[in-house]
Structure 1
């Protein structure tokens, strides 16, 4: 019990520290791009601090997998540095038993990652989107150039220039209706769209038909706009990396909420809510070859390099398969879980080979020597 608690606590602490360092580096790079806009809107230093607080959960979600790998490598390196791994092996502890002892710490990281993905990050990004709408309002008051935002609502494509009242009021709205063949059939241009009592109302709107029978016919489009779009969809469109919660994704799949992307995107997203945290355990599994590290033998550092390359390879392959699932090229379950299953098998095979013993290298035979005959 003490053995597992010691390894798990060490893993958890080092992984959290590594994740925070990676997230802060990403935060600095993000501020380089956005600090100027925040200061231009007159928010000053308090606005930057608020932006950091709202942006940090998303950066932690992205940084935690790599932070877990670095934390596991540092844990094993620290144990090797203090000769604790030698003592563990002398006590009969195998590499797999060390991984099992570190598993509670990995599960704690899984819980932390799941909470960030499904609870903290979506709420923080929603608040950040509201801040963006407030900047739109101030930009409108100052007469600055508007920034057009685009989103897809079912088959239609919608754009707007200004957002206010927590995304319940849109200005300079353009709606492009499309048929099932993705061909635009009409365009509606409205000065304003307001959301009241669960529906949008257009004002100053004009519809232009582009169908063959009624080509270029114009008509008034003032009144109720029949759409499934909600202010929450508008807020999500304002943040390019907006993270959709599990509840929202399930509503989209069930047809209760507006899809802003193809259906496989949301189906893969639901699978990734469960699969992504499990990837942290795979990271710890792939780091176990570092337990062969011996500070007295420089050649043993290759085991640390193998573990690092295995973890980075997992991030690459898993991300590639997830992208294929999001775009509908492969099934959502395959895109979300295939990389995890593949590298789990690879990691377990590596541990089995380490515990079973690697094949000894062949010792070259000494060259045959021809004995000279003694003189008679």
Structure 2
């Protein structure tokens, strides 16, 4: 039985990895084509290629549920097409034991993916975005369209580029009063983090009064803010690219600032529940092989897997923004597709066992 489990596990794992490599390869090629349009200044083809390769780990975890679905359909479908599953069933191997043989390697891949998403992808993504931002901001004037915005109280901040070592480039700070009128505007070419504060360099500061505006220049200027390099390393990334711990910290920070943290809470629940989504996709694939797709061609199985994956992805994309618009807890937007996956898998398997 151990050899049989290993054989099924190798077959399914190889199929999942192959599908994952194909999907990620297509995604990276698409990103490369998009980034080639942005080549200018120091952001040359080598920098573009380096950027695309460094964001690859995030793509692996993002497409893992889809690859698990299609890979299980392909791997188990190959066993079904060669009548190996029939022989296993005739030898007295129960459907439940076959399901366990498929789920075990999937759990291992899921755990590996979770480690990549927590410790590898956010770091490589942050370094990639930082290097890209520094290269592009050199060809920009005061503001770079590739920078990022942040709000803290009545201050709105824009950074052209953020480096992971606590260095900012192209820092703009806009301060408003209670009537939402601009009272001050500060721009620094560079800012570095000291012990508890930021030191701005080559600063141009403008203060607005009712009848006049006063402009001053400083070689250095202290800037006090609650933003730390750790928080900025989170800010530079999109919510779906952050680690689970980073999402939790930044969502709490936004709550303390009285700002909407819905995007980060949604991304947090999507990531922490993704292992269950992967298992749900595997259950759907298993139920299809033992059920309606038992005697169809491999191409048709893959086609059905792609269609099912697109449907569930669309369901996630609809429920996620809906939770932000209508104000219900983002955890429900993450849980509902998982429940649907398991329900479909259990119902189809119950009909065939």
TM bucket (normalised to shorter chain) is 0.7 to 0.9
Q: How does 1:224-235 map to 2 (within 5 A)?
A: 224-234=222-232
1:270 maps to 268
1:188 maps to 184
SS at match of 1:110: helix
Deviation per CA, 1:266-303, whole angstroms, max 9, x where unpaired? 333332232012211111111121234455x77x9987
- Partners in 1 of 2:32 and 2:230 — Cα distance? 25
- Partners in 1 of 2:41 and 2:75 — Cα distance? 44
Deviation per CA, 1:213-246, whole angstroms, max 9, x where unpaired? xx56656797543322234555555555762222
TM score, norm. by length of structure 1: 0.77
- Partners in 2 of 1:301 and 1:171 — Cα distance? 52
1:145 CA drift (Å): 8.5
- Partners in 1 of 2:309 and 2:163 — Cα distance? 44
1:152 maps to 150
Say if 1:61 and 1:245 are closer, same or farther in 2 by CA, change over 3 A. Answer: same
Say if 1:324 and 1:259 are closer, same or farther in 2 by CA, change over 3 A. Answer: farther
Q: How many residues align?
A: 342
TM score, norm. by length of structure 2: 0.81
Deviation per CA, 1:64-92, whole angstroms, max 9, x where unpaired? 22111110010122012211121122123
Alignment gaps of 5+ in structure 1: 210-214, 356-376
- Partners in 2 of 1:336 and 1:255 — Cα distance? 22
Alignment gaps of 5+ in structure 2: none
- Does the aligned pair in 1 maintain the 2:133–2:160 contact within 8 Å? no
- Does the aligned pair in 1 maintain the 2:171–2:191 contact within 8 Å? no
- Does the aligned pair in 1 maintain the 2:70–2:305 contact within 8 Å? no
- Partners in 2 of 1:260 and 1:13 — Cα distance? 48
SS at match of 1:207: strand
- Partners in 1 of 2:59 and 2:98 — Cα distance? 30
Q: How does 1:75-90 map to 2 (within 5 A)?
A: 75-90=75-90
Structure with greater Cα Rg: 1
SS at match of 1:228: coil
Q: How does 1:122-161 map to 2 (within 5 A)?
A: 122-136=122-136, 138-139=138-139, 146-147=144-145, 149-155=147-153, 156-161=155-160
Deviation per CA, 1:334-371, whole angstroms, max 9, x where unpaired? 1222221232122111111121xxxxxxxxxxxxxxxx
1:18 CA drift (Å): 0.5
1:281 matched to 2:273? The reply is no
Say if 1:234 and 1:133 are closer, same or farther in 2 by CA, change over 3 A. Answer: farther
- Does the aligned pair in 1 maintain the 2:69–2:285 contact within 8 Å? yes
Question: What root-mean-square deviation, in Å, do the aligned CA atoms of Structure 1 and Structure 2 show?
Answer: 3.5
- Partners in 2 of 1:335 and 1:191 — Cα distance? 40
Which piece of structure 1 moves more, 188-197 or 165-174? 165-174
SS at match of 1:204: strand
SS at match of 1:139: coil
1:329 CA drift (Å): 2.5
2:67 maps to 67
1:291 maps to 290
